[in-house]
Amino acid sequence: MLWRECRLRWRPCTLRLLALCLAALLCTHFSAELRRKPLSQPGLIAKAPAKELGVEGSNRRAEELPSKRQVIYVRRSSKGASHGRQEGNAGVPRRDPLQPARWHIDLQPWAGPSRSFEEEARRFLHYITESQIDCSRLVTNGLTNHYADTLKPWTVCLDDKFNLAHQIRSKQCRVYSFGLGEDDNIFEFNMASGGCEVHRFDPSISSAHIHEADRLWHHQLSIDWRDPNPAIAPHRLHRNTKKLKTILNEFGHWKIDVLKADMESAEWKILENLILEGIIEQIGQLVLEIHLHWPGFEVSGNDSSVVRYWFSLFKELEHKDFKMFYTYKDLSKPQMFLKKDVFNASSCYVLSWVNTRWT
Ligand SMILES: *[C@@H]1O[C@H](CO)[C@@H](O)[C@H](O)[C@H]1NC(C)=O
Ligand SMILES: *[C@@H]1O[C@H](CO)[C@@H](O)[C@H](O)[C@H]1NC(C)=O
């Protein structure tokens, strides 16, 4: 019929044929989409937690099996389930595999319209000198009351409302400590003798791994914000550095109860990397020495931008429900802030946060 019409009236028929082709194309595309989607999301269907199934369980279970028609329902319900899991079962720091890759942190608005150094510095210094959550049991230098003035006050929180106290009691606690070989090891020894499995990463030791005490290991490794370039031959790399994500994968660990780091101004890019890759969510408490006398490795911009960047990193932590419970101003270091003697600031602070999603 169509063909006969076509021979008779050529022009309108071309249009009709075109429309038909277009409709056919759309149909093929749509059904291909439907077929593709469940394959790219296999984890979601398997992952709906038993707790969630329990509610509408029996009549939903059949529907959980992937079939073309139910794709949309399954996807939506899985999303809801993973959201519920985050709130309901806060102790499980599993990352959402669907979390999109991030390339830069979210910068906070400027502290004031003039974008001045003074406004930025005041906001930042105020932020790092006020703790955000009370800890009823601060413990300095690891599970003993021993504390000498010469030591840095590495401080964790053993308040029962946080996970660490329980982990230590059940001997399930794991500590990672990153330094550059300058530090004393009192914190690490004390955490190990208190029952934690302690991994100390120090590029200056003489062999790849040293098992020093029952629960204390030293590794000839350092943390970096990128992995070594595979194109460079290993013997030409002077430093053995890796991203924390890589170290965790290689060690087969998926959570760290306490991460302590004194990275001599590399802390900013390292912290940024932990945030961008979502690794920060696998950490229970974070104890960090920060250095403010210069912008830090690979941090650039004018002074206002640098301080705003530092501030934005800490706001990212806050956004991940990390609360600062301890802040210490080091008066033994030069009292300098970005090479200036201003605002009575020190060049060095020790700060501790607790991940309040791990309760
Ligand atoms: C610093 O740099 C930012 C962006 O590069 C600019 O917007 C701002 O005005 C500068 N601030 C000062 C005080 O120069
Ligand atoms: C400067 O800081 C020190 C130590 O935090 C404090 O004791 C002193 O009162 C501060 N000085 C001023 C002028 O704020």
Q: Looking at the CA of 305, which ligand is closest? A: 1
Rounded to the nearest angstrom, the distance between the alpha carbon of 154 and the centre of ligand 2 is 22
Atom of ligand 2 nearest to the CA of 329: 5
- Tell me the one-letter amino acid at 92: V
Global model pTM greater than 0.85? no
327 within ligand 2 shell (Cβ under 6 A): no
For residue 73, being part of any structural domain is answered with no
Q: Determine which residue's CA is closest to atom 8 belonging to ligand 2.
A: 344
The CATH number assigned to the domain holding 132 equals 3.40.50
Pseudo-torsion of CA 265, 190, 278, 317, nearest 10°?
A: -60
For residue 320, being part of any structural domain is answered with yes
pLDDT of residue 17: 55
CA gap 50, 64 in Å, rounded: 12
CA gap 288, 82 in Å, rounded: 31
For residue 43, being part of any structural domain is answered with no
Rounded to the nearest angstrom, the distance between the alpha carbon of 171 and the centre of ligand 2 is 41
92-125 pLDDT, tens digit per residue, is 456 566 677 788 999 999 999 999 999 999 999 9
Q: Which residues line ligand 1 (CB under 6 A)?
A: 115-117, 301-302, 304-305
For residue 262, being part of any structural domain is answered with yes
- Tell me the one-letter amino acid at 279: I
3-state SS, residue 331? coil
Q: Looking at the CA of 345, which ligand is closest? A: 2
Atom of ligand 2 nearest to the CA of 331: 4
Rounded to the nearest angstrom, the distance between the alpha carbon of 344 and the centre of ligand 2 is 6
State the residue for tokens 């009709």: 16
3-state SS, residue 201? strand
| Owning domain of residue 296 | 119-142+151-228+239-355
Atom of ligand 2 nearest to the CA of 344: 1
CA gap 197, 257 in Å, rounded: 10
For residue 172, being part of any structural domain is answered with yes
State which of 107, 299, 302, 306 you would mutate to test the pocket of ligand 1, scoring each by most atoms of that ligand within 8 A of its C-beta.
Answer: 302
Transcribe 161-198 into DSSP letters. Answer: TSHHHHHHHTT--EEEEE--S-S--HHHHHHHHTT-EE
For residue 89, being part of any structural domain is answered with no
For residue 165, being part of any structural domain is answered with yes
For residue 293, being part of any structural domain is answered with yes
Please, is 178 exposed, middle or buried when counting C-beta atoms within 10 Å of its C-beta (0-12, 13-18, 19+)? buried
The tally of domains found in the chain comes to: 1
329 within ligand 2 shell (Cβ under 6 A): yes
Residue 344's region, left for phi above 0, alpha for psi from -120 to 50, else beta, is left
CA gap 151, 184 in Å, rounded: 8
168-190 pLDDT, tens digit per residue, is 999 999 999 999 876 678 899 88
pLDDT in tens for each of the 359 residues of the chain? Answer: 444 444 445 555 455 655 554 565 554 554 544 454 444 333 333 333 333 333 333 333 333 333 333 333 333 333 333 333 333 334 445 656 667 778 899 999 999 999 999 999 999 999 999 999 999 999 987 665 555 555 789 999 999 999 999 999 999 999 999 998 766 788 998 899 889 999 999 988 888 899 988 899 999 998 989 887 766 655 555 568 899 999 999 999 999 999 999 999 999 999 999 999 999 999 999 999 999 999 999 999 999 999 999 999 999 999 999 999 999 999 999 999 999 999 999 999 999 999 999 87
Q: Looking at the CA of 343, which ligand is closest? A: 2
136 within ligand 2 shell (Cβ under 6 A): no
Rounded to the nearest angstrom, the distance between the alpha carbon of 301 and the centre of ligand 1 is 8
Q: Looking at the CA of 341, which ligand is closest? A: 2
